[in-house]
Amino acid sequence: MKKLTTILSAGAGLSLVVAGCGQPIPTNNTTPATNQTVTLNSLFMQQAGYSQQNIEDMTKAFEKFHPNIKVNLTFVPYESLHDKIVTALATGGAGYDTVLTDTIWGPEFSKAGFLMNITKDIPASVNSDAYQAALNTVSYNGQYFGLPWIMDTKYFYYNQHMLQQAGITSQPTTWNQVMSDAKILKQKGIVKYPLDWSWSQNEALVCDYAALVADFGGQIVNSNGKLVVNQGGAMQALNFMVNSLKDGLSNPASTQSVEDDVRKVMSQGQAAFMLNWTYAYALENDKTQSKVAGQVDVEPLPGTSTVPYPAPSVNGAMGLAIAQNTKYPVQALEYIDYLSSRQVEEKYAALSLPFYKSSLKKQTVINTEPAMVKAASVQFNDMINRPSVVKYQTLSQILQVQIQKALLGQESPQQAMNNAVSQWNSQQNQ
């Protein structure tokens, strides 16, 4: 763990230095002397990967190292996390000292001034060893508002036993091959709907869509900040999605499913292909949870004629941030610094893979899930962010509704995306 030094300046001002990182963060908050006990309030989510018990255990270990710091933990569902942060911090108060933040909320929270800028205090080990996608998760306009913590992305899962039954001798490495293999699987009666997806009106839909847009060489928002989902690779991706349903290759229940629904369908032997997060691999191959244990493999995403295999996937990472108005910035930084340290990340690697490049080369980490680590070592190098816009929640809702209209046949794909662009432009003009 990096050494932290506190410097009390005249007038009770405080600055913070992380050894080896250079310049301090000045703050106007008053911090008790280091021999006094302080209590941090920290907000997390109930999640796959690190469980509530895991986070409690990490925190107890931190408190052992720092007997003068106590941490109160609050856990909420992911669906409530964004609004909980906004409610707590929007009034300028410090209801929480540290918060877990999603990669998609950085622009909004940074512009609102909710989070402390810790650019000058990013540990050298993070700057030099973290995957770029992890750094992107906690940065906006070149400034860092937190430390990476949970590293995740969507992978391509396939049932190798089903492919063998169909006489298919290798995994598909392009989306065209996926469709061709799916047709064979369906024609031979091996599985009714070879593909299953997380396409309910939910953020899960945007994650799948963003990955496919990147795989088809498209963009959601271009370099000028314009929404361009009604053209190029973005339209190819949506047409691919719609056609997979029309052709009976994707399960129609996909439009009502989130990731765990899809995982369970594959576990029942009712899907050959899916996109899903890291957590699904262990469950798919757990005999107590899955009828297809030992049959499911994981790989980076397939490519297209435009984007070769291995193709990009969506950045699903999350970070730990400090509330701008915390009374205890030094202690808060010590806490998130500990949780995001290499040794803690590696200790819990079986639950969530570390965001450090060097960690994925360690045999102890590889041994947790060799196939998963192999796929991650490739996919972590090619992860795209969902649009980095301040009104992301609004944009996501527009996309969810309009993509669903196309998937359900309520609007043509082109009309659905034209409407999405029109609605977003109207929002921008407000």
Residue 25 has what pLDDT? 36
Domains annotated for the chain, with CATH where assigned, are 35-152+316-384 (3.40.190.10), 155-314+391-428 (3.40.190.10)
- Per-residue confidence band for 279, with pLDDT thresholds at 50, 70 and 90: very high
Instruction: State how far the alpha carbon of 76 is from the alpha carbons of 54, 99, 152, 251, in Å.
Output: 15, 11, 20, 31
Residue 417 has what pLDDT? 99
Which one, of 149, 90, 145, 95, lies nearest residue 117 by Cα?
Answer: 145
Residue 21 has what pLDDT? 31
Question: Among 45-49, 368-372, 403-407, 423-427, which stretch is predicted with the lowest mean pLDDT?
Answer: 45-49
Residue 367 has what pLDDT? 97
pLDDT tens string 286-298: 999 999 999 999 9
User: 324 or 22: whose pLDDT is higher?
Assistant: 324
Residue 389 has what pLDDT? 94
- Per-residue confidence band for 80, with pLDDT thresholds at 50, 70 and 90: very high
- Which residues are CB-contacts of 306 (< 8 A; sequence separation ≥ 6)? 216, 217, 233
Residue 147 has what pLDDT? 98
pLDDT tens string 102-145: 999 999 999 999 999 999 999 999 999 999 999 999 999 999 99
What phi and psi, each to the nearest 5 degrees, are found at residue 428?
Answer: -65, -25
Max Cα-Cα span within the chain: 78
Rg (CA), the chain: 23
- Which residues are CB-contacts of 316 (< 8 A; sequence separation ≥ 6)? 103, 152, 153, 154, 207, 277
Instruction: Give the mean pLDDT of the chain.
Output: 92
Decide if pLDDT at 94 tops 90.
no
Decide if pLDDT at 2 tops 70.
no
User: 362 or 30: whose pLDDT is higher?
Assistant: 362
CB of 275 closer than 8 Å to CB of 197:
yes
User: To which residue do tokens 């989070």 refer?
Assistant: 115
